[in-house]
Structure 1
Amino acid sequence: MSTERGNLSINSENIFPIIKKWLYSDHDIFVRELISNGCDAITKLKKLEIMGEADIPEDTHYKVVVTINPEEKTICFSDNGVGMTAEEVKEYINQIAFSGAKKFIETYKDKASDDQIIGHFGLGFYSAFMVADKVTINTLSWQKDAAPVYWESEGGLEYEMREGSRSERGTDITLHLNEDSYEFSNEYRVKEVINKYCSFMPVEIYFENANAPKEKEKDKDKDKDKKAEDEAPKPLNDTTPLWTKHPNDCTEEEYKKFYREVFHDYKEPLFWIHLNMDYPFNLKGILYFPKINTEYDSIEGVIKLYSNQVFIADNIKEVTPEFLMLLKGVIDCPDLPLNVSRSALQNDGFVRKISDYITKKVADKLSGMYKVERENYENFWDDISPFIKFGCLKDDKFSDKMKDFIIYKNLEGKYITLDDYIEAAKSKSFDDKKEEDKSTDEGKEKTDSSSTEDDQELKEDEKVTVYYITDEKQQSQYINMFKEAGLDAVYLTHNIDQPFITHVEYKNQKVRFMRIDADITDSFRDETKKKDKKLLKNNTEAMTKLFRKVLGKEKLEVKVEKLKNDKVSSVITLSEESRRMQDMMRMYNMGAMDDSMFAGGETLVLNANHKLVQYIIANENSEHTPMICEQLYDLAYLSHKPLEPEAMTRFIQRSNEIMLLLAQ
C-alpha cells in the first residue's frame, strides 16, 4: 500500500457529545454565547461601516432581541448585524470550530477601530445543542444582492440548507428546546440568565414574549402619544458600564449607584479603586472596599470577571489576588487567555502579571490615602484592616509595600505606626533608666558622663515589646494598670490579628508582641528593698503550697510581689507562648488538650501590698482563708477570661457567703 498524506477532519458524531456534556460547565451558558455572537455580528458591521465598506442608514438601531415562545417551547436570538451568505454559513457553521470572529480580526486588524470582537473559538454557536433538539438559522448578509439563507439541524449530526425567507439584514437563531430544557422558554428564567451573563454587553439587548397578550385595538388609540416614551421597550443591559469610562468622568454618586445595583449591598462602600490600564495589557475595572460589621472569617466578597463586557465568572483566583477576594468589584480584561468554553483561564504567565498589577494598584491607592488623606485613612482603618492584614499574610510584595502604612489604635485612641510605638517605648525605657540611675546614684557623682548614651545605644539592639489588647472589656483591669504605669498598648481585636502579629515578628526581628495579661512588668512593681526580697520569696513558697492545696491545681504557679497599685489584689498572667499555642489548638478544634499540655503557662500573682493578701499570709490556718483564696483566684481569672459554668456558679455562691459574713 502506498503512503497517503492528508489533513485530519473533525467528525461531528464524536465532537457533539463532548460539546453537550463537557465543553460548558453550566447549560445556561448558551444564552451568553448566542447573544455574544449577535453582538459580534453588529460590531463587525459597525467596523465595516467605519471603513466605508458598508452603507448603513444613519437611523439604524443596532440591537439583539431574545424572543421566547412558551407554547412552542422555543427561544430565538435575533440581531441586525452583518448576517451571512450561503458560503459563510458553510464556512462558519458547517465547519466546526472555524472561528468567523478570528478570521475577521485577522483580515481587518490594521483597519478596524478599537471596538472588541467577543468570540474567539467558533464554538459558541454549538452550545445551542446542549439544550435544543433542533436549531434553525435564518440569515441575510449585508452584502449587496445577497440571498437569504435557511439552515436547519436536528441533534447537530446532519443539516439541511436552502434559500431563506428573511428580508432584513441580520440573523435569527431559533432553538427548539429539548424536554429537559423547557425552563428556557420561561420569561423569568431567561431574564435571570441574561442578567447574570449579559448585563453589560456592548449592544442593547431586548426581550420579547411571543405568547404575551396583545393590546386591544381600542386601547392602542387611547392616549396614543401619552406616556409613549415610558412604555417603549427598554434594553435589559447597560452598554456603557461605569468601568468603561475614565475615572475623571465618573461621579461619586455614580460609583455608589453602580455598587448598589451590581452587588445589591445598600451599605455604602468605604471607597473604591478605578482600574484603567491600556499597556502592556488592556484592563479596566472598579474595586470596592465594603463596610463590614462582622468578624473576619464571615466576610465574603465578590470579584466579577468580564472579557469585553461579557461575564466570565466570579472570583477566579488566577486573576484576582486571594486577599482581594474579600472585596467587591468588577474586572474587565479582553486579553485574558480563556479556554474554548470562555468559562476558565488557560495556564498563562500573563495572568500572573494581571494579578500583580491589581495588587500594585491597591497598594498604591492605600499608601496614597495614608500620605494625603490620613484622617480618612484612620476613619476607614477598622473596616479595611482585615483586607490589608490578610493581604500582607498572603502576598509578600503587598506586605513589603504596605509595611510602613499599617497603623494601630493605642490606649489614647490615637492611630500610630509600629515605628511610632517603638520610638515611644524606647523613650519611656530610657526615661525610666535615667530615673533609676538618679535614685540609685543620689549624692554620688557619675564616673562616666557618657554612660546614658551607651545605655541608649544598648537599647537599639534589644527587642521592643509591643503590648496589645484583644478584648477591651475582659482585659479592663490590665488596661487600667497600664494607664496608671504610663505604658501604652495597641488594640488587636480581629481574628486576623493573631496570625498577623506572628507575620510582623517574622518580618521585623526587632519586635515581639505580648498581650497585656502575659506578664507583670517592672513598671507595675513597687520598689523592693534587699531585705524584702527574701521575705517575698518565702511568702511565694508558702502561698504556692496553700493555693495548690485549696484549688486542687498542682501545676499552678504562684508569685507574691509588691505592686504599686494597692487596690489590685491579684492578677493572672498566661505566657504569650502558651496562650498562642492554645489559640492555635482551639482554631483546629483541639481545645480538649489544653489543660493537659499547656497548663504550666498560667501564673497567679498576689499583691503583697493588698490587705487581703496580707491577711491570708498572716492567717494561713484561718477557717475563712480557703474561701478567700478561692475568691482571689476567681477574681483574677475573671480579669483574664470568663469562668467556666461550674466555676461561675461556685463564684456566685461564694460571693453570697462573703456578703453574709460581712452583714453579720
Structure 2
Amino acid sequence: MIQEKGSLSIHTENIFPIIKKWLYSEKDIFIRELISNSADAISKLKKLAAMGEARLEDDFRPRIEVIVDKEKQTLSINDNGIGMTDEEVRKYINQIAFSGAKDFIEKYHGKTDDQQIIGHFGLGFYSSFMVSERVSIDTLSYREGAEAVHWESSGDTEYAMEPSDRRERGTLVTLKLDKDSQEFLDTWKLREIVKKYFEFLPYEIFLKEIPEKDQGKEKTETPINDTNPLWLKNPKDCTDEEYRKFYHQVFTDFNDPLFWIHINMDYPFNMKGIIYFPRLRHEFDTVQGKIKLYYNQVFVADNIKEVIPEFLLMLKGCLDCPDLPLNVSRSFLQNEGYVQKISAHITKKVADKLQLLFKKDREGYNKYWDDIHPFVKFGCMREDKFYDRVSDIIVYKTIHDKYVTLDEYLEPQKGKEEKRVYYVSDTRQQAQYIKMFKDNNLDAVILNSLIDPHFIGFMESRLDKVKFVCIDADIAGAIRDEGREPEEKEKKDLLEKAEKLFREAASRDNLKVSVESLKNETMPAIILLDEQSRRFREMSKTFGNTINPDLFPVEETLVLNLSNPLIRDIIRLYEDQDKKSDALFAAGYVYDLAVLNHKQLDPERMAKFIEKSNELLRRMTKTEAQSA
C-alpha cells in the first residue's frame, strides 16, 4: 500500500472531547475496550476457521499480550486474532463504525452465533484517546496475500496510514500515554485492572514489561486469567470443594459460604453463573454483598440493579449473560423488558433453591436461618413474587431454641378468630418475661434484628387477623390465673386504691396501673409497654434517631399481681394512716423492682434505688432486733 494521510470521517468534530469526558465513566475502561476488541478478533478468526474460511496453524493458541514500556512511556495490546486489511482500517477506524461486527453478522447470518460478537474496533477503540497523546495500530489480516498496515493519530481528526513491518497475523495497538496517565505504566496496577475485567476471559492474557537498557532479558509471565471459570462446568460435575475454592478466589472471603446456586441455562436466554449465600459475621455484613456481572466472561460491573434484584445484592456471585443488551460502552443496559425477564428468573432460581433446601433438609435449613433471615425478610418486603414463593418457608427461632414456620407456631391457636404471635425484641432485657412464658409452657419467637421492626409490620399487612405482640406488651391468656380472679366489684375497688397508692409512690400522676391475678405468685409486679408506641420508637431508631430516644417515649403500664400477697398487704397498709409511709416506701420499691426487671435504670435512679435497698435492710434488721 502507499502512504496515506487524511481526515477521519467523523460526524461531529467534537467526538474526542466527548469520548474523554462523557462516554466512559471510569478512566481504566479503555483497557477493557482494547482487550475486548482483541478477544472479539480472536473469536471471529476461530469462527471463520470453523467454517473453513480461514486457516489456522496446527499449534494455534489464542493469545493477548499487555505490554508495558516505561522507557518509551507506551502501553500496547497485542493479539493473534483476525487482523485487518487497509480497507478494513479505513472502514472500521477512519469511518468510526459503531461495530465492525455488523457486516460480519450480515455475511454469515444463520451460520454463526451473532450474540457472541460484541463489536470490532468501534467507538471502544477511541476510548484509548482518553489517556493517550498518540495512538498507533499495526495489523495484518488473516486473508492470504494481505499486507500489514500501520495507522496513527494524535487524537485530532487527522490520521496517517502506511505499510507496517508486522509479520504475524493479528493487531497491535500502541498508546503513547499522556502525562496525566503515567499510572497505567505500573504493572501492579495494570494487573489489578486486567484481572478486574478479564479474570475469566476465555483467551490467555499475558502481562509483559519491556526492561530498561542493561536490565536483562524481557520476561513473560504465566497467564494472569482463568480461562475456564467454574460456572462453565456442568453443575453435576462440580464438587463442593471446587465451589468453596472458587468463592475464596473471587471474593477473598476466608469463611466458607453457607450454600450456593449454580445457574446453567440456555432458554429462554443464555445465562450461567454461581450465586453464593455468604456466612454473615455481623448483621451489617448484609450490605456488603457483591454480584459480579459478566458478558461472555468479560466483567461489566458489580451489582447492576437493573439485572440483579436489590435484595439479592446482599449475596455474592458471578453471573455471565451473553444475551444482555449493552450499548456502546458495554456497561449501560438497554431493552428494559428483556432485562426484567432476566431479573425475574434470577429471583425464581433463588426462591426455588430455598424451597428445595427447606423440603429436603429442614434441619440444615434451620441452621442456615440465622445467617440468611435478613436476606429473606428484605427480599419478601421488596419483591412480591419472591414473597409469594417463600412465604410458607419463613421460619422463626423460638425461645425454646426451635425453628418453626408461622403455621406451626399458630397451630395451638387454631379456631381462634384473631391469632397472636408473641415475639421477643431483646432477649436480655426481656429475660424475666421469657421465663414467665417458659414456666407457663408458652412460646414466643425471637425478632431482634434491625430489619425486624419493618418485617413485623409487613407481615401484619399480609396476614389476615394475625397480630404480632411483643412479649412485654400484653399478658398472655395462659399466664392469667382465672381461678384467683376477684369479683368485678372487688377488682375495681382494688384498682382504684392501687392507682392512688402507686402513683403517689412513683411521683407520677399519669402512671397507668392495672391489677391481674397471675399464675406466677413470686412476682409482685411487671411493666408492660404499649405495642404501637414501642414500634414508633423502634422505627425512629432505624431512621437515625439514636441520640435521644426519650423524644419518642414508650407508654408503660404497671401490672400488679394480685396472686402475690404483698400487693394486697401494701394496699391495706396504705389505708392505715399510721402505716401509710411504710406502704408508700414498699410500693415505690415494688415499682422500682418492676422497672429494673424490665430495663437498666439511669444512674440517678439507680443511686436512689440503692439508697432504698439500704433503708430496707436497716428497717428489717431493726425490726428483728426489736422482736428479739
Matching residue within 300, 306, 326 for 1:312: 300
Matching residue within 630, 635, 642 for 2:600: 642
Q: Could you tell me how far apart the structure 1 residues matched to 2:618 and 2:473 are?
A: 35
Q: Could you tell me how far apart the structure 1 residues matched to 2:197 and 2:11 are?
A: 31
One-letter code of the match for 2:492? K
Is 1:104 the counterpart of 2:97 in the alignment?
no
What RMSD over aligned residues (CA atoms) do the two structures have, in Å?
2.4
Contact kept? 1:64, 1:80, Cα under 8 Å: yes
Q: Could you tell me how far apart the structure 1 residues matched to 2:325 and 2:107 are?
A: 21
**Residue 366 of structure 1 aligns with which residue?**
354
SS of residue in 1 equivalent to 2:168 = coil
- Which stretch of the first structure deviates more once superposed, 85-94 or 601-610? 601-610
Matches for 1:499-510 after TM superposition, within 5 Å: 499-510=454-465
Deviations 1:588-645 (A, max 9, x none): 345789767755x310011123243234212224444444333322322233333334
Deviations 1:509-543 (A, max 9, x none): 13111111111133222235675443332222222
Contact kept? 1:582, 1:591, Cα under 8 Å: no
**Residue 366 of structure 2 aligns with which residue?**
378
**Residue 268 of structure 1 aligns with which residue?**
256
**Residue 536 of structure 1 aligns with which residue?**
491
**Residue 450 of structure 1 aligns with which residue?**
none
One-letter code of the match for 2:612? R
Is 1:523 the counterpart of 2:478 in the alignment?
yes
Is 1:580 the counterpart of 2:568 in the alignment?
no
Is 1:602 the counterpart of 2:556 in the alignment?
yes
Matches for 1:70-89 after TM superposition, within 5 Å: 70-89=70-89
Q: Could you tell me how far apart the structure 2 residues matched to 1:76 and 1:645 are?
A: 70
SS of residue in 2 equivalent to 1:555 = coil
Where structure 2 has 5 or more consecutive residues not aligned to the other structure, the ranges are 1-8, 623-628
* TM-aligned CA distance change 1:637 to 1:189, over 3 Å: same
One-letter code of the match for 2:339? V
Task: Please state how far the C-alpha of 1:47 moved relative to its aligned partner.
Answer: 1.0
Deviations 1:210-244 (A, max 9, x none): 12687769xx9xxxxxxxxxx97311111111112
**Residue 390 of structure 1 aligns with which residue?**
378
Deviations 1:160-218 (A, max 9, x none): 0000010111111000011111101111111111111111112110001112687769x
Q: Could you tell me how far apart the structure 2 residues matched to 1:648 and 1:103 are?
A: 83
Is 1:331 the counterpart of 2:288 in the alignment?
no
Task: Please state how far the C-alpha of 1:374 moved relative to its aligned partner.
Answer: 1.2
Contact kept? 1:406, 1:418, Cα under 8 Å: yes
Matching residue within 512, 520, 525 for 1:565: 520
- Which stretch of the first structure deviates more once superposed, 649-658 or 168-177? 649-658
Matches for 1:220-239 after TM superposition, within 5 Å: 233-239=221-227
Contact kept? 1:91, 1:98, Cα under 8 Å: no
Task: Please state how far the C-alpha of 1:496 moved relative to its aligned partner.
Answer: 1.6
**Residue 476 of structure 1 aligns with which residue?**
431
Task: Please state how far the C-alpha of 1:550 moved relative to its aligned partner.
Answer: 2.7
One-letter code of the match for 1:523? A
**Residue 568 of structure 2 aligns with which residue?**
614
* TM-aligned CA distance change 1:251 to 1:513, over 3 Å: same
Task: Please state how far the C-alpha of 1:334 moved relative to its aligned partner.
Answer: 1.1
- Which stretch of the first structure deviates more once superposed, 317-326 or 615-624? 615-624
* TM-aligned CA distance change 1:645 to 1:109, over 3 Å: farther
Matches for 1:389-408 after TM superposition, within 5 Å: 389-408=377-396
Task: Please state how far the C-alpha of 1:122 moved relative to its aligned partner.
Answer: 1.5
Is 1:351 the counterpart of 2:339 in the alignment?
yes
Contact kept? 2:91, 2:97, Cα under 8 Å: no
Q: Could you tell me how far apart the structure 2 residues matched to 1:52 and 1:572 are?
A: 85
Q: Could you tell me how far apart the structure 2 residues matched to 1:104 and 1:253 are?
A: 42
Task: Please state how far the C-alpha of 1:471 moved relative to its aligned partner.
Answer: 1.9
Matches for 1:158-169 after TM superposition, within 5 Å: 158-169=158-169
Deviations 1:285-331 (A, max 9, x none): 11100011212575321111111111111111110011101000111
Task: Please state how far the C-alpha of 1:274 moved relative to its aligned partner.
Answer: 0.7
Q: Could you tell me how far apart the structure 2 residues matched to 1:85 and 1:58 are?
A: 24
* TM-aligned CA distance change 1:119 to 1:616, over 3 Å: farther
Deviations 1:396-431 (A, max 9, x none): 0110111111111223322211111221233xxxxx
SS of residue in 2 equivalent to 1:639 = helix
* TM-aligned CA distance change 1:159 to 1:192, over 3 Å: same
Task: Please state how far the C-alpha of 1:570 moved relative to its aligned partner.
Answer: 1.1
Q: Could you tell me how far apart the structure 2 residues matched to 1:314 and 1:153 are?
A: 34
Q: Could you tell me how far apart the structure 1 residues matched to 2:372 and 2:596 are?
A: 32
* TM-aligned CA distance change 1:478 to 1:251, over 3 Å: same
* TM-aligned CA distance change 1:136 to 1:531, over 3 Å: closer
Q: Could you tell me how far apart the structure 2 residues matched to 1:248 and 1:215 are?
A: 50
Q: Could you tell me how far apart the structure 1 residues matched to 2:140 and 2:304 are?
A: 39
- Which stretch of the first structure deviates more once superposed, 191-200 or 654-663? 654-663
Q: Could you tell me how far apart the structure 2 residues matched to 1:463 and 1:121 are?
A: 68
**Residue 128 of structure 1 aligns with which residue?**
128
Q: Could you tell me how far apart the structure 2 residues matched to 1:576 and 1:297 are?
A: 29
Matches for 1:178-217 after TM superposition, within 5 Å: 178-211=178-211
* TM-aligned CA distance change 1:95 to 1:650, over 3 Å: farther
Contact kept? 1:276, 1:283, Cα under 8 Å: yes
SS of residue in 2 equivalent to 1:171 = strand
**Residue 444 of structure 1 aligns with which residue?**
none
Contact kept? 1:296, 1:386, Cα under 8 Å: no
Q: Could you tell me how far apart the structure 2 residues matched to 1:120 and 1:338 are?
A: 15
**Residue 626 of structure 2 aligns with which residue?**
none
Q: Could you tell me how far apart the structure 2 residues matched to 1:198 and 1:113 are?
A: 21
**Residue 413 of structure 2 aligns with which residue?**
425
One-letter code of the match for 1:616? I
- Which stretch of the first structure deviates more once superposed, 319-328 or 572-581? 572-581
* TM-aligned CA distance change 1:93 to 1:114, over 3 Å: closer
One-letter code of the match for 2:526? V
SS of residue in 1 equivalent to 2:325 = coil
Contact kept? 1:292, 1:299, Cα under 8 Å: no
Deviations 1:348-401 (A, max 9, x none): 210100100000001111111111111111111111111111110000011011
Q: Could you tell me how far apart the structure 1 residues matched to 2:592 and 2:121 are?
A: 72
Task: Please state how far the C-alpha of 1:19 moved relative to its aligned partner.
Answer: 1.0
Q: Could you tell me how far apart the structure 1 residues matched to 2:213 and 2:526 are?
A: 79
Contact kept? 1:138, 1:148, Cα under 8 Å: yes
Deviations 1:458-492 (A, max 9, x none): x3xx1111111122222121111112222221121
One-letter code of the match for 1:635? L
Q: Could you tell me how far apart the structure 2 residues matched to 1:258 and 1:531 are?
A: 69
Is 1:655 the counterpart of 2:613 in the alignment?
yes
Is 1:629 the counterpart of 2:587 in the alignment?
yes
SS of residue in 1 equivalent to 2:598 = coil
Q: Could you tell me how far apart the structure 1 residues matched to 2:460 and 2:505 are?
A: 40
- Which stretch of the first structure deviates more once superposed, 385-394 or 89-98? 89-98
Task: Please state how far the C-alpha of 1:85 moved relative to its aligned partner.
Answer: 0.7
SS of residue in 2 equivalent to 1:41 = helix
Q: Could you tell me how far apart the structure 2 residues matched to 1:659 and 1:296 are?
A: 47
Q: Could you tell me how far apart the structure 2 residues matched to 1:82 and 1:645 are?
A: 79
Q: Normalising by the residue count of structure 2, what TM-score does the alignment of the two structures yield?
A: 0.92
Where structure 1 has 5 or more consecutive residues not aligned to the other structure, the ranges are 1-8, 221-230, 427-455
Q: Could you tell me how far apart the structure 2 residues matched to 1:592 and 1:471 are?
A: 19
* TM-aligned CA distance change 1:247 to 1:567, over 3 Å: same
Q: Could you tell me how far apart the structure 2 residues matched to 1:138 and 1:203 are?
A: 21
Q: Could you tell me how far apart the structure 2 residues matched to 1:212 and 1:661 are?
A: 93
Contact kept? 2:504, 2:584, Cα under 8 Å: no
Q: Could you tell me how far apart the structure 2 residues matched to 1:571 and 1:146 are?
A: 93
